[in-house]
Chain A
Amino acid sequence: MVEDSQEIIGDYQYGFHDPENSTIRFDKGLTEQVVRDISELKNEPEWMTDIRVKAYRHFVERVMPDWGNCSLLNMIDFENVTYFLRSSDKTEKSWDDVPDDIKNTFDRLGIPEAEQKWLGGVTAQYESEAVYHSIREDLEEQGVIFLDMDSGLKQYPEIVKKYFGTVVPHSDNKFSALNTAVWSGGSFLYIPKGVSVEMPVQAYFRINAKNMGQFERTLIIADEGSTVHYVEGCTAPNYSTDSLHSAVVELIAMKGAKIRYSTVQNWSSNVYNLVTKRAVAYQDAVVEWVDGNIGSKLTMKYPSVLLKGEGAHAEVISVAYAGEGQHQDTGAKVHHLASNTTSNILSKSISKGGGRSSYRGLLQVTPKSSGCRSKVVCDALILDEDSRSDTYPTMEIGNSSSDLEHEASVSKVSSDQLFYLMTRGFSEEEAMGLIVNGFFEPFTRELPMEYAVELNKLLELEMEGSIG
């Protein structure tokens, strides 16, 4: 199987898989009973069970989106997905207590090492639930709550009840309904008033089992004047059959708070990555989505910000790399719902080897939101004739006192650039890698350095064997 999938996928470096040692595994397929069983197994309060069931019913009735990549979407076989898989009975606080095979996986991914060096807290999720969790004591002492979502619900039910589903309601779209019905794991992060978390906190999501569905749910609340940087990474093994990753992320930035949410998604190319990420920013708050999509079969993801308070600011910087057999349908949505709100959207995509990348964006300024400013820049780089890039920008501007800029460009690597770099000793592949890294640089410079280095290496690997 490993050899087979290697042939299909190529040289994805996180494509290894471990034996599937589950303690609880649900049969494939989704029914209302499965939804109730998940809730019961987790010993959840009744209100959560009710939300799940309601969401499930909505999911069943809701039709598939008729945009994005319909043919790939319609190939998803919801009956062939495992909706819940518990691989460890507990969420451990020490790596030594995490089952060996799982710990080895995270070692190979470099998570414990990164944690020691530069992170304020880590959650590691394997299949459906967190297997490891830690937070630095000093953050805990300041009242920062960083838990996996299941523990968050257990320990802080009133906060979860107050905010869960307020930013992304279950009825938002088919996949937010699915997530709400079967969610498991994800992060719960609360930053108290005025607390500034200097070191990033990280969540790492790993799918190991075949035909797995991972449905993490993340809720981040930054109270007034607080600051936090949350980082997530994701990988999965190469299989010739598909897995489904459908997360919901809700961010709430109170007055004057700042949340930066950075993602480097590097799923193997058998993973459907259908994620709803949305934030609310109140007065003078800042929300930044730094969103990198390198892997997956199909990604549909449009990080959004609702600018609800005057002076709030949204920043969405995203990159997408679509290689062979991949479609990255990504973008950003910003809703200017209050006056004097500002936003910047920078989207960069690369298509190669027949891959397809699409930018899909929405910029809305309501009639009453005066004096808003926004700048949208979309750059696409196409590396060969077989590849494709499209842009679908939508702008709904309700008043004339707002100032909006939109720039878009599509380019190819020029032969002058290649020749120049080759005269400086770079092989054609290395030259390509350098140009591609340079193209993504406005994104990578926003990442913590360790991530930036990793991402650059990843892209260089992607460029290997790319020259005919």
Chain B
Amino acid sequence: MTEEILRVENLHVSVGDVPILKGLNLVINRGEIHAIMGRNGSGKSTLANVIMGHPSYEITDGHVFYRGQALEDLEVHERARAGMFLSFQYPASIPGVQVGTFLKKSVSSVRENPPKGREFRKELTAAMSQLSMDKSFLSRYVNDGFSGGEKKRLEILQLLLLQPHLALLDETDSGLDIDALRIVAEGINEVAPNSASLIITHYQRLLDLVQPHFVHAMIDGNIVHSGGPELALELEERGYDWLDNAA
């Protein structure tokens, strides 16, 4: 039985007067992994940010439904608490706030029955060792002075701990070496079967490790072509020019 998690209908989005998304449609059911590929500036990241409720974007037409509910009136943190998660391409640093404290607070505001005390520490330790993260991470400040790879690991650690219904993964593969990429992919694969995943990427290489059910090519604010995993290979090989006419 399919359970619809995300439905994007005829979505038009602008920043200021500049239209970015132009009537985009997308449905993701639980257990599905969708990948969106496209050139820089095609609107991929905008889509992820808009779904999450970023205040800089204005929805001029269309709707986003999450688990059957229209999202317009939900604030960002309410979306998070409802089980939506965005992994950032460039996560902000929060100087002075220790990773351990941050994770604990985040998990207790987002999860329905958050693990407490020892139970939380156990879960945290397991997730960190899965991602080959040293314990010393916990006393560092959130993303402060982190390398690109460290930031991505922390994002995936949060994905594992927050157990979202919807995971939006924005360029999670960028800046990772092959070992780190494998670790990150394992994290995504672990969460994916029980949630709906949207992977935004430039490259095929993450999709070798995380097998998408659907691949969408995005050009100029819209999905112009959709297919199975083979489309990712094709886009990698042929680029996007052959699709330009469709836009």
Contacts and interface: CB of A to CB of B under 8 A. Distances in A.
Interface of A: 414-417, 419-428, 430-431, 434-435, 437-442
Interface in B21-54: 52-54
Contact of B55 (A415, A424, A431, A438): A415
Given A435-B94, A437-B97, A439-B95, A420 B88 contact: yes
Contact of A422 (B56, B80, B93, B158): B80
Contacts of B79: 423
Contacts of B96: 437-442
B77 A428 contact: yes
A416 B77 CA distance: 14
A260 B202 CA distance: 55
A435 B158 CA distance: 19
B14 interface: no
Given A425-B81, A426-B106, A419 B95 contact: no
B97 A423 contact: no
Contacts of A415: 55-56
B92 interface: yes
A415 B110 CA distance: 21
A438 B110 contact: no
Give the 5 A-B residue pairs with the shortest CB-CB distance, closest first: A438-B96, A441-B96, A425-B109, A422-B76, A425-B110
Interface of B: 52-56, 75-77, 79-81, 85-86, 88, 91-97, 102, 105-106, 109-110, 141, 158, 162
A348 to B, nearest CB: 10
Contacts of A419: 54-55, 76, 92
Contacts, number: 76
Nearest to A411: B95
Given A420-B91, A439-B95, A439-B96, A425 B80 contact: yes
B170 to A, nearest CB: 11
Contacts of B88: 420, 423
11 contacts: A422-B53, A422-B76, A422-B77, A423-B86, A424-B158, A425-B80, A425-B81, A425-B162, A427-B77, A439-B95, A441-B95
B214 to A, nearest CB: 24
Contacts of A437: 96-97
A441 B97 contact: yes
B123 to A, nearest CB: 16
A120 to B, nearest CB: 28
B109 A423 contact: no
Contact of A421 (B53, B54, B75, B94): B94
A423 B94 contact: no
B97 A425 contact: no
A420 B92 contact: yes
Given A434-B97, A439-B96, A441-B96, A422 B85 contact: no
A430 B52 CA distance: 18
A419 B86 CA distance: 11
A434 B55 contact: no
B83 to A, nearest CB: 10
Nearest to A435: B94
Contacts of B93: 417
